[in-house]
Chain A
Amino acid sequence: MSDGHASHAVAKTGWGGGASPFAVGDKKLGMWLFIVSDALTFSALIMAYSYVRVANEWPTPFDFFPSIIFSSVMTFVLLSSSLTMVFGVAAAHAGDRKATVKWIIATMFFGLLFVVLHANEWVHLIEEGMTPLQNPWGTPLFGGTFFTLTGLHMTHVAIGVIYLGVIAWGFGKGKYDGEDVEVSGLYWHFVDLVWMFIFPMVYLMSSRVN
């Protein structure tokens, strides 16, 4: 910026930079902005799901066993992974590298468990004849919206497990600091948060009640 009275006046009002109005680091603010945009992506998909659902005879194919049991256990697994992640972030800020890596690996284990359970659920549905274009129960769009919504979420979980692995490895070696762990935690909690909407809308609202 050029010298002179104008730039002085600008710096005093805070427009010249150097101020931190949100009192967070740039990485954390960046991750939050990504989360807001990603939340809108999921909102759009959930809205589309609801819209298609209103306009069609919607199937209710999810039996209590295995689908609802599996998806409930998946919900508990994701919630627990958020708890271990919170402990990991706390350990990272306390400077305890061993405990941080331990908690992050626990989080990754729960994340992997979620992916395995969900993939199992997908295989079960595919074996019953469900594809993105057709299914045995009702409107063909059910498969398309189901696989898009839960597939995008599963992709987020899988990417999150890899992301956490990189962070745990780098933090263990002293390459990353507490803020990096905290930022990866934000992403992980967001993936958990999205499932809190997908689970009731996709599974509970389509449970087969006799």
Chain B
Amino acid sequence: MSTAEADSHRGLFIKVWLGLLILTIIEIVLAYIHFDPHVMLAVLMGLSLVKAGMIMAYFMHLKFDAPSLSWILVVPLIACIMIMVGYFFPDGYRILQYGVASIK
């Protein structure tokens, strides 16, 4: 990164930081509005994914690196997380539908 490039990025980083702060405030406000917890969880996770994307793209510099780096890092990560989701969520759905067998 050259000095001129670093200077032009400085304003961008401050904008990203402000964006992240605003998204966080929106999350806190959402937590105090009464609505369905499932919808709230989905919205909060959606906002968190946007924040994670902003941090990775700008702060962690992925947007300015070779695209091959993003592909090799993000795709396997998402694949592994999807495998975990595939194991946990059907069982979580089973619990929600049929409850937990009492051991008492």
A contact residues vs B (CB 8 Å cutoff)? 21-24, 29, 32, 35-36, 39-40, 43-44, 47, 50-51, 54-56, 64, 68, 72, 75-76, 79-80, 82-83, 85-87, 90-91, 93-94, 182, 185-186, 189-190, 192-193, 196-197, 199-201, 204-205, 207, 209
Contact = CB atoms under 8 A, between A and B. Distances in A.
Interface in B38-54: 40-41, 44-45, 47-48, 51-52
Q: Which of A43, A56, A189, A196 has the most CB of B within 10 A?
A: A196
Contact of A90 (B10, B27, B58): B10
B80 interface: yes
Contacts of B65: 22-24
Interface of B: 1-3, 6, 9-10, 13-14, 17, 20-21, 24, 27-28, 30-32, 34, 37, 40-41, 44-45, 47-48, 51-52, 55-56, 58-61, 65-66, 68-69, 72-73, 76-77, 80-81, 84-85, 88, 91-92, 95-96, 100
Given A23-B68, A55-B100, A205 B31 contact: yes
Contacts of A196: 48, 51-52, 55
B27 A200 contact: yes
A65 B43 CA distance: 24
Nearest to B34: A209
A43 B84 contact: yes
A186 B55 CA distance: 10
Contacts of B14: 83
B48 A22 contact: no
Given A23-B69, A82-B17, A190-B60, A50 B88 contact: yes
Contacts of A51: 88, 91-92
Contact of A54 (B55, B56, B84, B92): B92
